[in-house]
Structure 1
């Protein structure tokens, strides 16, 4: 028995079939399916992320133009998206509700009065159209 005969005889029947008789189209389909199954759960688990804020998070500004604006990477559900602005003592700056911008459903705005010098925190909680909830906080300072 030669070396080639020994290799062929030690293979299982299905491995011989897969390695010798499977055409390129089936192999390509299986590879594509495996890639899709790997990528799809990652996409499905994506959550809304805060992309930008006005004024910018962590910034120091001389004055704040109302309203404050938070822009996210996905469209928001207006009924489940909120933001609260507090001063350094934790007191609410406004009693107005945050609203989703009707012209840009990825933006959440909250109107504030003229802000005195100090540090302010914005606590936000949003739900995106796909039902994912996320929340966070950022601060800015008025000089």
Structure 2
């Protein structure tokens, strides 16, 4: 390659890298909504937790755990990815007493990115 061509290619590559950086940064699974809601209070105990993400999930690597205020794990069911909407992860839970609960989730999206988080909700 001639020198003028190299001078042109380097800035083009740099511009492309800068333009793609935000898309790459946001390519990770993100919790979009939850039922019961994040930091919310419900009057009726839910039978199922429903977490919706911004990307399709890999069922084998996506989990939800629920614990009471003392840190004791609630239930022994496994989380399931909805077969109709692969962005939704559900967990059946036993009847919850009034109190505060923490939800810990970990997911892997279809493009192999991993994400995790926690939130709390309360039952009156």
Same fold (TM over 0.5): yes
Partner of 1:137: 118
Summarize deviations over 1:30-67 as a string: whole Å, max 9, x none: 98765432122332332111000001011111113321
User: Tell me, which stretches of 5 or more residues in structure 2 are unaligned?
Assistant: none
**Pair 1:128 & 2:112 matched:** no
TM (normalized to structure 2)? 0.85
| Whole-Å separation in 1 of the counterparts to 2:45 and 2:86 | 22
CA RMSD of aligned residues (A): 2.2
Equivalenced residue count is: 119
Q: Name the structure with the higher helix share.
A: 1
TM (normalized to structure 1)? 0.74
Residues 52 and 87, structure 2, Cα contact 8 Å, conserved in 1: yes
Q: Name the structure with the higher strand share.
A: 2
User: Tell me, which stretches of 5 or more residues in structure 1 are unaligned?
Assistant: 1-13, 18-26
Q: Secondary structure at the match of 2:60?
A: helix
Bigger Cα Rg: 1
- By relative contact order (CA 8 Å, sep 6+), the higher-ranking structure is 2
